[in-house]
Every structure is written in C-alpha cells, then in structure tokens.
Amino acid sequence: MTLSSATGIAVLSQGRAAVYEDPIGPAGVRIRERPKTEPVAGAVAVAIRASSINHLDLWLAHGAQKVTPPRVIAADGAGVVEASGDPAWRPGDEVVLYPTLCCWECEWCRSGQNVRCAKFGVIGEHSDGTACELFHIDARNVFRKPKGLSWEEAAAFPLTFLTAWRMLTTRARLQAGETVLVVGAGAGVAVAAISIAKHLGARVFATSRSELKRKRAVELGVEAAFDSTEFSKQVRQATGDGVDVVFEHVGPATLTESMRSIHMGGRIVTCGSTSGVKAEIAMPRLFWGQMDLLGSTMGNASEFEAVLKAIDNGLRPVVDSTYPLADVKAALTRLDAAEQFGKVVLSLEG
C-alpha cells in the first residue's frame, strides 16, 4: 500500500496485476492475484479496461529505478468506475486517470502547480500502478474518458500526451506556423509530440535511426524525417536556418545535433535522457545562440484537462500494439527491443 496524498488516500492495485518482482528485465514482471476491497472515502475504484506501459516500466524491470519490489507497473489507465467513495463519480462512469501523484493539499497543488508539489511522482513508480484489474485512486485523479477514443487509445495517451503537451505549450511556447524537430520518433512521448505539434498548427520534422519509423512519422504528418546521424545539416537544409523548437528526450546521443538544428533564439525542451544521464554541451553555442534550454516533466492537472479538450477536438494517440495483461512480458520485450512506434497497451478485456 502506498499513500498518495496528505489526506491519506491509498493507491491500491487489486485483482490480477502485473507485478515487478525481480530486477531481471521483462521476465521479472509476473501476474499475481491480490484481494479486492471497497474504496475509502475520497477514493474511486476503477475496473481497468486497458493500461499502457512506458520506458519507465522497463527501467523498473531492469532494476534501474531504485524501487523495492514488489511493485505493480504502469502509469496509464482507463476503465469503468466500479465503486466510488466520492459523490462526483458513480458506478458505470467511463474514466481515464491523471497519471501522477501529488498531495492535492499544499500551496503548489492548490495553485494548480501540481508539478511543484513536494510529493509529485508518477503512478507505477512512486506507488503501485494501473496494470491490474481494479485500481483505487484519489477521486481528484479521475477524469471522464474522451468519447471518441477506444479503451486502448484512452489508455495510450495520458502520460505521454500530458508530458509532450506541457513541453510544447507551457515550456516551449510553440505557436502555429513555427517549426519543430522531434528527435527519436517512435518513442511514445515523441509520437505524442508529433501529433500535438501538428494539432497546434506547427510544421514538424523528425529523426529516427529506423527507416520504418521514419516512414511512420511521415505518415503521421511530419514534413520530412531524417536519419539520426548528423541530422542537423539536413534540418538546416530543409528549414533555411534551423527550427524554432527541438523536442528532446534522448539526451547525450542527440543533444549536440539538436543544438545545431535550431536557429538563433530557438528553444530546446527536454523530458528525458534515454541515452545516458550526463551530456556535454558547447557553451558558446548556448549563449551566442541566444538559446533556451528547457527542462520539463509530466504536467499539471490543468494541462491534462487541456489534453482532454484537444482530444475532443480531434487529437489522437497512436497505439503501436495491444497485448493481454497475461502477456506483459512480451509487451515489455517489445519496448526493450525499441521496435514500437507509439504506445504498447495492455488489455484487461475478455
């Protein structure tokens, strides 16, 4: 049991659940059965229809996250309210979950800056996660499911779209007509960024080592997709003097080329560093280039609501593949092989 809030509402993952038990990679995540209970006051019990996994779950499985097992994996979940300890929700309501943890009570939370809460974290890392049959969560994390989405799509968007939305709007202040380069297209957050940037009216370019993923990115609407090796030359050729914004999540392997891809006064926004935690940068490029180097992680509840509104207006997530919960090992292995384009979903239906 993990306390998710100052008010003491417990996050509980119940019924059949995908549990990280041993730090040996995908094989260390196993299906276990946990007893089901009624939600406490202020909490909602959601019968999960679909959950989705992120790179974070893979790091967890490999023992890289300093999380002591057992831990139920996954941040993203969508399902049907089974029982509610809060009058805002009734059994049968179709919902999605704001995929973060915060106290909801501190000054930052009350002023809408959940990301600055001292207890800010991600479901499935700092608490048990959504890869389970029945998930209990604070009612303030529960939002209506967008009508136009399937269960798989509803579970595919929360964490990546929340993260990419905050990066492109709040942090990088992307405007319609501006140019964006999304590196490492294929990762869930990068595919989300392509879709969101297109939705906001930007011109989008992408990079990937994989020819197949470059092709998929073009199908999703990018103007051109470049190989990851020395992509800045091609970006500058395609745009004149470079893009307005680079969307980063790869880190050391791409950062130098990313900095070479923007014009003077451009912005780089990053939410991750999958290629390593330390990067070297050419300082003169940063200051002579009048560059903004912006960090971001996840997002506020208000930004999650903005994503929901954008989905109502046509924004859509990309589902790479769907596996039954019982095949969680195969789902994690697909992420481990970096074969995916978009999100890998776990289905609890049937």
Quick one: CA dihedral 253, 120, 51, 74, positive or negative?
Answer: positive
Backbone angles phi and psi of 192, in degrees to 5: -60, -45
User: Does residue number 3 form part of the binding site for Zn ion (CB under 5 A)?
Assistant: no
For every residue of 196-209, DSSP letters joined together read: HHHHTT-EEEEE-S
Nearest residue (CB) to Zn ion, 4 versus 207: 4
Nearest residue (CB) to Zn ion, 117 versus 206: 117
Nearest residue (CB) to Zn ion, 110 versus 309: 110
- By CB under 5 A, how many residues form the interface with Zn ion? 5
Give the footprint of Zn ion on residues 237-256 (CB under 5 A).
none
Q: Rounded to the nearest whole angstrom, what is the least distance from the CB of residue 286 to Zn ion in the complex?
A: 33
Residues β-bridged to residue 71: 20
Q: Where are the alpha helices (DSSP H) in 119-168?
A: 151-156, 158-166
Q: Rounded to the nearest whole angstrom, what is the least distance from the CB of residue 97 to Zn ion in the complex?
A: 17
Nearest residue (CB) to Zn ion, 103 versus 268: 103
Cis, peptide link before residue 70, omega less than 30° from 0: yes
Q: Which of 72, 81, 102, 335 binds Zn ion (CB under 5 A)?
A: 102
What span, in angstroms and rounded, lies between the C-alpha atoms of 275 and 133?
Answer: 34
Q: Among residues 102, 160, 99, which one has the least CA distance to residue 131? A: 99
Q: Rounded to the nearest whole angstrom, what is the least distance from the CB of residue 141 to Zn ion in the complex?
A: 13
Question: Counting beta carbons within 10 angstroms of the beta carbon of residue 219, is it exposed (0 to 12), middle (13 to 18) or buried (19 or more)?
Answer: exposed
Q: Rounded to the nearest whole angstrom, what is the least distance from the CB of residue 108 to Zn ion in the complex?
A: 5
Contact call for residues 239 and 173 (beta carbons, < 8 A): no
Binding mask of the shown chain, residues 106 to 145, with x at each position contacting Zn ion by CB under 5 A = x--x-------x----------------------------
Q: Rounded to the nearest whole angstrom, what is the least distance from the CB of residue 235 to Zn ion in the complex?
A: 40
Nearest residue (CB) to Zn ion, 103 versus 142: 103
Q: Rounded to the nearest whole angstrom, what is the least distance from the CB of residue 317 to Zn ion in the complex?
A: 28
Q: Which two tokens stand for residue 27?
A: 């094989």
Q: Rounded to the nearest whole angstrom, what is the least distance from the CB of residue 233 to Zn ion in the complex?
A: 45
Q: Which of 95, 103, 137, 311 binds Zn ion (CB under 5 A)?
A: 103
Q: At what angle do helices 158-166 and 188-199 cross, to 10 degrees?
A: 60
User: Does residue number 101 form part of the binding site for Zn ion (CB under 5 A)?
Assistant: no
The residue number whose beta carbon is nearest to Zn ion equals 117
What span, in angstroms and rounded, lies between the C-alpha atoms of 223 and 96?
Answer: 32
What span, in angstroms and rounded, lies between the C-alpha atoms of 319 and 308?
Answer: 17
Please report, as ranges, the residues that interact with Zn ion according to CB under 5 A: 102-103, 106, 109, 117
